[in-house]
Amino acid sequence: MTRLSVNINKIATLRNARGGNNPNVIQTALDCERFGAQGITVHPRPDERHIRYADVIELKKVVTNEFNIEGYPDARYLNLIRETKPAQATLVPDGPDAITSNAGWDTVKHERFLQEIIAEIKSYGVRVSVFVDPSASMVEGAKKASADRIELYTEPYASNYHKNKEASIKPYIEAAHVAHTLGLGINAGHDLDLQNLKFLKTSLLHLDEVSIGHALICDALYLGLENTIQLYLRQLK
C-alpha cells in the first residue's frame, strides 16, 4: 500500500495568522496519525511563515510514524536534520522566497552539490529523497547523486488531469519505471487531491508514498480531518 504522509504546513499558517497556539500544530500531527496517516511532512522555510523550526523540534519528540522534513539544503536545514534525525529528508530546489515548490532539481547540473549534501545527510542515518520533474535524465541524476528515493513533482499531472489524464500521467509512468529499475524508491507530491490521486496510484505500480497538504487540509474544512484522511487512504488502497 502506498503510504499517506500529511503535510501540516497549512495548520501552522492558520495558527500564525492570529498568534497563540490555535490550531495546535503538535496535536494536529498526533490526530493525523491517530486517524490513519502513516507519516507527517513539514517544510520549514527560513521566514517561518508556517512551520517554525521550533515546531520541527517538538514534532520529532511525538511523531511515532514516519517524519519527513522537506527543504532547501542550506546550513540551517542541515543543522535541523542533524538535530532531529527524521525518517526522511526531502531535498527541494526552491529558494527562500518561493511560495511553494514549483520545479524539481536539475540533478545533472547539480550532481556534485547533491552528492555532497546527500552523503552528509546519510551519515546521520536519514533516508534522502530528491524532488524531481518526471524526466528519465533527472531520475538518473538523482541515482548518481546517491539518493534513496525520488519525489515526483506532480503539479503538471494535476493541472492536466481533467483535460487528458492518460497523457498527463505518461511521463510519470516512464520516470517511475526508470526509478524502479535503478532501485530508487518513488514518492510523489504537489496538488494531489481526491479527484486525481487514485489514477496516479493505479498508474504508478511501485509508488511508495504521497505527501499531501493543501488539498487535504482544505477538504478537512468541509469533511472533517478524520473523515478526510480516511477518504485519501481509500484512494490509495
Catalytic residue (choose from 70, 140, 151, 209): 70
110 is catalytic: no
Out of 33, 43, 50, 151, pick the active-site residue: 43
User: Can you tell me whether residue 55 is helix, strand or coil?
Assistant: helix
DSSP helix/strand/coil, 70: strand
Residue 61: other Cβ atoms inside 10 A: 8
Provide the residue type at 237 as one letter: K
Active site residue 70: yes
Query: Which residue among the candidates 33, 50, 66, 190 is catalytic per the annotation?
Result: 190
Which single residue is written with the C-alpha cell 500521467?
Answer: 169
Q: What are the grid coordinates assigned to 179, written together?
A: 526509478
- DSSP string for 135-184: -HHHHHHHHHTT-SEEEEE-HHHHHHTTT-HHHHHHHHHHHHHHHHHTT-
Secondary structure (3-state) at 107? coil
In the residue annotation, 43 being an active-site residue is answered as yes
Buried/exposed 194-232: b ≥16 CB within 10 Å, e otherwise? bebbebbbebbeebbbbbbbbbbbebbeeeebeebbebb
- 127's enclosing H/E stretch is strand 127-132
Instruction: Look up residue 190 and give its three cell numbers.
Output: 504537489
Active-site residue numbers? 43, 70, 190
